Amino acid sequence: MTKLSVNINKIATLRNARGGDFPNLLQFARDIELFGANGITVHPRPDERHIKYSDVYELSQTVKTEFNIEGNPNKKFIDLVLNVKPTQVTLVPDAEDAITSNKGWDTKNNLDFLKDIISEFKIKGIRTSVFIDPLTEMVEYAKLTGANRVELYTENYASVFLKDKTNAISSYILAAKKANELSIGVNAGHDLNLENLKFFNQNIPELLEVSIGHALITESLYHGLKETIKMYVDRLN
């Protein structure tokens, strides 16, 4: 079974829009786990416009399933991860002013940089994942960084899916097969939703985990959070 990790950034965005503590992020994390998700993902950014660094520390004491922290590995982020010791850290090459993640790492040109950071996390027993575009070369160099997994950036798949799903997924299949050959785990995320997830899951070999936030929270406005998580879990089975 492919695991579902729910990104709760959008819950924090809603809370921050009015200040205070409503909706309560910790309660949402507990409920998401109770409703069947296999993990919680957060992506703190330097401006803390949604997830705050203090949230991450509080969630680390609350999350009972897998806890995944995503972000660009600047010093503040690295210190956060080393202190919290989550189940997994996912390294994403976000610019500070990025609205959302918009590209994967060039693992070839950033090989030494990533290798040094990943070695720090692995010493602490933290599983590491590198966010990449679906290119076999990027998978090969991700393996050389020492990462445990890659996370395939799926925006292009999602944008092409309705027009030509076979073409949309072809590069992802090749990248996943290369990862399988190199014994590096495969995660995926970005713009996956109830419409395109099942096809992706059925065609990507040995897909371990998907991280989904924006679509899942949006769809829960229509279906309710509990039912939406159930629908996602069903598509992953």
Q: What is the pLDDT of residue 98?
A: 63
Burial class (CB in 10 A: 0-12, 13-18, 19+), 148: buried
pLDDT of residue 105: 96
Alpha-carbon distance of 83 to 75, in angstroms, equals 12
Give the chain's domains with CATH numbers. 3-233 (3.20.20.70)
Structure confidence at residue 113 (pLDDT): 97
Strand ranges for the chain from DSSP E = 3-7, 39-42, 66-71, 88-91, 127-132, 149-153, 185-189, 207-212
The reported pLDDT for the residue numbered 97 is 65
Whether pTM exceeds 0.75: yes
pLDDT, residue 99, reads: 60
Catalytic machinery residues? 43, 70, 190
Question: Per-residue pLDDT for the chain (237 aa), expressed as one digit of tens each?
Answer: 899 999 999 999 999 999 999 999 999 999 999 999 999 999 999 899 999 999 999 999 999 999 999 999 999 999 999 999 999 999 999 866 666 666 899 999 999 999 999 999 999 999 999 999 999 999 999 999 999 999 999 999 999 999 999 999 999 999 999 999 999 999 999 999 999 999 999 999 999 999 999 999 999 999 999 999 999 999 999
Question: How big is the chain by its Cα radius of gyration, in Å?
Answer: 17
pLDDT attached to residue 95: 67
b/e burial code for range 38-57 (CB count within 10 A of at least 16 → b): bbbbbbbbeeeebbbbebbe
